[in-house]
Amino acid sequence: MLADPGALDRPARGRLLAGAPIAADLRAEVRAAVEAFRGRHGYTPALAALVLGRSEPFARYLQQILRACASVGLEGREVHVEGRVSAARVRAELCRLNADPHVAGIIVQQPLPRGLSPRVVTETLDPAKDVDGLTPLNTGLVTLGYGGFAPATAEATLEILRRSGVSLEGLHAVIVGRSHVVGRPVAQLLLREHCTVTICHRRTRELVSHTRQADVLVVAAGAPGLVTGEMLKPGAVVVDVGTSVIDGRIVGDVESESAARVAAAITPVPGGVGPVTNAVLMQHVIRAAEVQARASRRAATP
């Protein structure tokens, strides 16, 4: 266990931060919460996935999400927009799901079909049901530390660190990647944990000069093998969020073999952040359901 910052100065141990045990713990917590919710309110909350045409990667991801819903007792719904995917049709489906009291959370196929502006989704999706942190309201709430839903992958990064015993306060965290779904929200979450945070990306000059300063390194640039062991501070904790398929193999943004010889702990790819992301999304759905149920009771009270 990395229980104190000083542990990062000791020789590297290369501990593997597997996501499966953490995801199992999260799912057990969500399963109990769903059972309690059903007992109080008499229905099962649903997560609706809006499918916009054909996307093989999203189809595979959707099957994982539907299995995760079943494993915790949530209802998983596929909502397909067939044929030509227009802004008007997407808005109509989102408005219908926004109004459905049994739908607690909504996710939308990413990336969006060519020609469809992200604003169609971010301006229509009810922030209360935005369980993957797409809307400006949730982005603002997370940035200000007022709650809200962070993107599930970003929050999964923090869950892995916390549940692996990494005491984050005072550490220097370096993030390689600046996307709205990982890099930027991870930075906000780490700031909330009292880290000193540096954000880099693929165009950062002398990237190695930054990564070698990191007590905690989060790599989410979408560039296979971008970070190698020689770019790490000895004893660093490394969270590899990247996933790419190279010659039929799923690989991360970190060259795992060399990094494991230098890092104190590192997440595997696959099997690290991915399983935890799905479990965090389930956690967000039941949290959204509870908030919506309380709001419905208040609205019904004379």
Share of the chain above pLDDT 90, in %: 87
Q: How far lies 267's CA from each of 21, 60, 100, 200, 272, in Å?
A: 12, 22, 38, 20, 5
DSSP characters over 80-143? EE-SS--HHHHHHHHHHHHH-TTEEEEEE-SSPPTT--HHHHHTTS-GGG-TT--SHHHHHHHH
Q: How far lies 200's CA from each of 45, 46, 206, 300, in Å?
A: 39, 37, 10, 49
Task: Please give the mean pLDDT across all residues of the chain.
Answer: 94
DSSP 8-state class, residue 271: S
Looking at 81, 100, 127, which one is the last position of a domain?
A: 127
| Position 145 in a domain | no
| Position 171 in a domain | yes
Looking at 100, 127, 154, which one is the last position of a domain?
A: 127
Residues 169 and 247 in one domain: yes
| Position 264 in a domain | yes
pLDDT reported for residue 2? 55
Band of residue 226 on the pLDDT scale cut at 50, 70, 90: very high
| Position 80 in a domain | yes
140-199 pLDDT, tens digit per residue, is: 999 999 999 999 999 999 999 999 999 999 999 999 999 999 999 999 999 999 999 999
| Position 26 in a domain | no
Looking at 69, 99, 127, which one is the last position of a domain?
A: 127
Average pLDDT (284-295) is: 96
Residues 267 and 175 in one domain: yes
pLDDT reported for residue 164? 96
| pLDDT for residue 137 is more than 80 | yes
Domain count, the chain: 2
72-88 pLDDT, tens digit per residue, is: 999 999 999 988 899 99
Residues 11 and 54 in one domain: no
Residues 108 and 206 in one domain: no
**Residue 109 belongs to what domain range?**
42-127
41-79 pLDDT, tens digit per residue, is: 999 999 999 999 888 889 999 999 999 999 999 999 999
CATH of the domain at 186: 3.40.50.720
Q: If DSSP codes are grouped into helix, strand and coil, which group holds residue 272?
A: coil
pLDDT reported for residue 157? 98
